[in-house]
Amino acid sequence: MSVYGYFTKRDLTTWGNLLFMALIGLILASLVNMFFNNEMIYWITTYVGIIIFVGLVAYDTQKIKNMNIIGNEGTEEDHKEAIIGALALYLDFINLFLYLLRVLGRRNE
């Protein structure tokens, strides 16, 4: 998805807004599930989380690419943008990995 976000000609800013709202909903659903401890909600939030973070990887990659085009090469602001962009992608990949571990790491006991 990172390659798709980098090379696509489509503007993914609408994806970013929708995915951010979905992420807030996912956080709220996870908090509610902490109290109810429902297995169905757990698996729904797991699969929805995978979809959200796959989309966020593409969105953040395109956002980093567009920030680099602005033309502030070599400035301190450019270095800050690079660090923030790398942190956003890092968090996307870590969360995606954790959700994939939930699905693929199930043991049959």
Is position 53 within any domain?
yes
Q: What is the pTM of this model?
A: 0.87
One digit per residue, pLDDT tens: the chain, 109 residues? Answer: 999 999 999 999 999 999 999 999 999 999 999 999 999 999 999 999 999 999 999 999 999 888 877 667 777 887 888 899 999 999 999 999 999 999 998 765 4
Phi-psi region of 71 (alpha: psi -120 to 50; beta: other; left: phi over 0): left
Is position 88 within any domain?
yes
Query: What's the domain count of the chain?
Result: 1
Is position 109 within any domain?
no
What is the domain extent for residue 84? 2-104
Instruction: Of 65, 63, 66, 67, give the one whose Cα is nearest residue 55.
Output: 63
